[in-house]
């Protein structure tokens, strides 16, 4: 049996904070997670949740306080692991004195390709991310979206098996976002594993086989987007309007939201029939009744809200 | 050079070449050499001495400014601008990155020194002076300047692995100046009555690189020969010192969190 694409075991990271009295602040708390080959995994969480910290730990840019991780069975401490991975940092910044063509050629030199192979790859990738016509423009003249595309190109330049993308849709217009989504889907079709962090939940819902939700440095839940949604209690939405000139009872109005002459009211599944009876007796015209499937966004917001009220940050090891 | 340090070195060189500050330095070096020609013309009979003296001093000073100011930014700029994040995700070890950056700046300094040397040769040619055998000492003096620059670059790189560019500049300059007077500090310590001061002067003498030994400008200007033993000794000394500094830099940088 082959090793999982990504295996994270108890990964923890504490950062020192304060100038005179150094204290340690926990940014990531015992993260344990496994991503299988060929999966698209969405790593969700608000700003400061620990998503970028996790990615930096996996890339070897920072070192864990505790725990370890393996990519395709190879420890993250082993430089050979980097042959199999691609990484797009959050808000990527590249050598702005280089053109995109030069940048990609530079990065391709770390993957033992011949000069001809390098040239072919660079051209193919520039074309794939829509930068072929801007390939000879210095990166300092690129827009944020163009830089993001250049970043994606360098991440997949050497055909890595596992691709880590930190907020890949950030800074992109709707067309650009769709193009990146297409690239991610293409990568999956090629059998690649994609691990991407995002706070744009619709992207995660649309693309991911599984998602993990991180908040306050702790993993709150992992599962298929559908599974995570089904955890929630479903609700029913009733759309109604007043019949004739007769006003609706006040207690009903307090529970409803007015939308141009009509009213929308959400009730728990169990409370549907009593609510309908009450509306009927109040002479309201029921326009529609539809089940409300809570989105991943609802789940996410609820988690974050809970986390914020509970413990916004974890402090350990005061010294 | 390994398959990974080579591209980093070439990219560092490319960055320096595309940096306009570099051209300004070369421009000012050429102005200095122009001034040497002017001074040479009003120094009847000692044109060679004046031109060689001024020319070599200009090469040394401009090299020093480049080595320090570009050297302290070699690592810190990459961390600050986060260009390192995508680079270190490639199969490259941190020490290979450091060595590549160091080699890239050394290549830049060598090429600039070569251009300035051509300027100096042109100045000597302009005053109608044929090449003579003692001119070998000019080439050796330039080689010593390069060795000193290699050491200064390694010092700047070392400090930039753990401190800010401003502090790194101060530390490097302080060690450079102390290194020029290393021998005087030792002699001063020998004269001191306090055993503590004596010991301190000795420690400083052995710890800081002795930059005084790399200064052969006066000998070159006067056309004096420079013994081969000094060439070998300086080469070995610089090689050992640079190796130690690169090892220490790698040890520090390899454990540093890149936020």
Burial A284-305 (b: 16+ CB within 10 A, else e): beeeeeeeeebbbbebbeebbe
Chain B closest CA to A89's CA: distance in Å? Answer: 6
Binary contact (A94, B83; C-beta < 8 A): yes
Name the token pair of A32: 């344990």
Low-confidence ranges of chain A (pLDDT < 70): 1, 228-234, 293-319
B interface mutation test: which of A63, A79, A105 has the most B CBs within 10 A? A79
- Nearest CB partner across the interface for B83, out of A60, A86, A95: A95
Binary contact (A111, B6; C-beta < 8 A): no
How much is the pLDDT for A315?
A: 45
Q: Measured between alpha carbons, how far is B81 from B74 in angstroms, rounded to an integer?
A: 11
- What's the pLDDT tens digit per position in B46-86? 777 888 888 899 899 989 999 999 999 989 889 888 899 99
Segment (H or E) for B195? helix B195-207
Of residues A14 and B26, more confidence is placed in: A14
ipTM: 0.84
Name the token pair of B155: 């010092």
Q: pLDDT confidence of B121, banded at 50, 70, 90?
A: confident
**Up-side HSE of residue A306: CA atoms within 13 Å toward CB?**
10
Phi, psi at B167, each rounded to 5°? -65, -40
With tokens 């800010």, the residue in question is B164
The torsion angle over the Cα atoms of residues A205, A208, A211 and A215, rounded to 10 degrees, is -60
Chain A closest CA to B254's CA: distance in Å? Answer: 10
B interface mutation test: which of A14, A28, A97, A151 has the most B CBs within 10 A? A97
Report chain A residues whose CB lies below 8 A from the CB of B93. Answer: 79
How much is the pLDDT for A309?
A: 42
Q: Measured between alpha carbons, how far is A121 from A93 in angstroms, rounded to an integer?
A: 21
Residues 6+ apart with CB under 8 A from B212: B179, B180, B181, B182, B183
Neighbours of A35 (CB within 10 A): 23
Strand A235-242 relative to strand A262-268, pairing: antiparallel
How much is the pLDDT for A244?
A: 75
Q: Measured between alpha carbons, how far is A251 from A245 in angstroms, rounded to an integer?
A: 18
How much is the pLDDT for A319?
A: 37
Report chain B residues whose CB lies below 8 A from the CB of A61. Answer: 84-85, 88-89, 257-258
Do A282 and A253 touch, CB atoms closer than 8 A? no
Beta bridge partners of A87: A164
pTM above 0.90, yes or no: no
Q: Measured between alpha carbons, how far is B130 from B140 in angstroms, rounded to an integer?
A: 18
How much is the pLDDT for A230?
A: 57
Binary contact (B14, A61; C-beta < 8 A): no
Q: Measured between alpha carbons, how far is A285 from A278 in angstroms, rounded to an integer?
A: 11
- Nearest CB partner across the interface for B257, out of A62, A82, A107: A62
How much is the pLDDT for A98?
A: 93
How much is the pLDDT for A317?
A: 44
Identify which of B69, B70, B72, B41 has the alpha carbon closest to the alpha carbon of residue B54: B41
Segment (H or E) for A116? helix A115-128
Q: Measured between alpha carbons, how far is A136 from B107 in angstroms, rounded to an integer?
A: 26
% of chain B beyond a pLDDT of 90: 45
Name the token pair of B20: 């306009």
Residue B129 pLDDT exceeds 80:
no
Do B212 and B179 touch, CB atoms closer than 8 A? yes
- What's the pLDDT tens digit per position in B83-119? 999 999 999 999 999 999 999 999 999 998 988 888 8
How much is the pLDDT for B54?
A: 85
A95 reaches B (C-beta below 8 A): yes
- Nearest CB partner across the interface for A63, out of B11, B82, B255: B255
Q: Measured between alpha carbons, how far is B133 from B117 in angstroms, rounded to an integer?
A: 17
How much is the pLDDT for B30?
A: 73
- What's the pLDDT tens digit per position in A221-230? 888 887 765 5
Binary contact (B15, A61; C-beta < 8 A): no
- What's the pLDDT tens digit per position in A92-108? 888 989 999 999 999 99
Chain A closest CA to B161's CA: distance in Å? Answer: 14
Residues 6+ apart with CB under 8 A from A147: A92, A93, A94, A139, A171
- Nearest CB partner across the interface for A110, out of B18, B19, B92: B92
Binary contact (B85, A80; C-beta < 8 A): no
Residue B140 pLDDT exceeds 90:
yes
């Amino acid at each position: 049996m082959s090793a999982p694409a990504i295996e994270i075991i108890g990964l923890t990271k504490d950062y020192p904070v304060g100038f005179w009295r150094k204290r340690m602040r926990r940014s990531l708390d015992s993260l344990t997670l496994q991503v299988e080959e060929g999966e698209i995994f969405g790593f969700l969480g608000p700003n400061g949740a620990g998503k970028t910290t996790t990615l930096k730990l996996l890339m070897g840019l920072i070192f864990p306080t505790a725990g370890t991780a393996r990519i395709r069975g190879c420890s993250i401490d082993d430089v050979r692991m980097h042959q199999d991975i691609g990484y797009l940092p959050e808000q990527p910044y590249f050598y702005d004195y280089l053109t995109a063509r030069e940048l990609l050629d530079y990065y391709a030199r770390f993957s033992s390709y011949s000069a001809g192979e390098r040239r072919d790859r660079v051209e193919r990738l520039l074309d794939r991310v829509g930068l072929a016509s801007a390939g000879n423009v210095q990166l300092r003249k690129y827009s944020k979206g163009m830089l993001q595309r250049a970043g994606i190109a360098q991440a997949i330049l050497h055909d890595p098996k596992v691709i880590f993308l930190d907020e890949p849709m950030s800074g992109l217009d709707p067309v650009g976002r769709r193009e990146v989504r297409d690239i991610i889907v293409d990568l999956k079709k090629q059998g690649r594993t994609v691990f991407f962090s995002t706070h744009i939940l619709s992207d995660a819902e649309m693309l991911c086989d599984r998602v993990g939700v991180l908040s306050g440095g702790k993993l709150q839940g992992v599962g298929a987007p559908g599974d995570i949604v089904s955890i929630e209690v479903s609700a029913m939405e009733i759309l109604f309007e007043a019949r004739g000139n007769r006003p609706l009872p006040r207690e009903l109005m307090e529970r409803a939201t007015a939308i141009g002459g009509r009213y929308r009211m959400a009730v728990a599944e169990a409370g549907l029939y009593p609510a309908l009876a009450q509306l009927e007796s109040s002479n309201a015209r029921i326009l529609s009744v539809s089940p409300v499937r809570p989105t991943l966004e609802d789940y996410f917001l609820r988690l974050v809200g809970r986390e914020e009220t509970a413990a916004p940050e974890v402090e350990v090891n005061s010294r | 050079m390994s398959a990974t340090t080579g591209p980093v070195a070439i990219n560092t060189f490319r960055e320096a070449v595309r940096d306009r500050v570099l051209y300004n330095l070369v421009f000012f070096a050429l102005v200095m050499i122009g001034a040497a020609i002017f001074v040479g013309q009003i120094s009847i009979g000692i044109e060679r001495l004046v031109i060689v003296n001024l020319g070599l001093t200009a090469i040394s000073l401009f090299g020093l400014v480049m080595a320090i100011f570009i050297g302290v930014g070699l690592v810190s700029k990459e961390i600050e601008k986060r260009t390192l994040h995508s680079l270190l995700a490639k199969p490259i070890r941190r020490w290979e990155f450091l060595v590549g950056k160091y080699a890239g700046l050394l290549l830049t300094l060598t090429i600039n020194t070569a251009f300035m040397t051509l300027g100096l040769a042109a100045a000597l040619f302009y005053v109608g002076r044929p090449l003579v055998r003692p001119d070998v000492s000019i080439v050796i003096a330039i080689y010593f300047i390069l060795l000193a620059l290699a050491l200064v670059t390694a010092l700047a790189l070392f400090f930039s692995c753990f401190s800010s560019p401003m502090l790194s500049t101060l530390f490097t300059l302080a060690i450079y100046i102390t290194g020029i007077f290393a021998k005087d500090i030792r002699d001063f310590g020998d004269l001191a009555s306090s055993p503590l001061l004596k010991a301190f002067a000795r420690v400083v003498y052995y710890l800081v690189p002795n930059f005084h030994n790399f200064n052969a400008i006066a000998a070159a200007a006067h056309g004096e020969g420079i013994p081969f033993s000094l060439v070998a000794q300086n080469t070995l000394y610089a090689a050992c010192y640079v190796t130690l500094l690169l090892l220490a830099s790698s040890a520090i940088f390899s454990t540093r969190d890149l936020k």
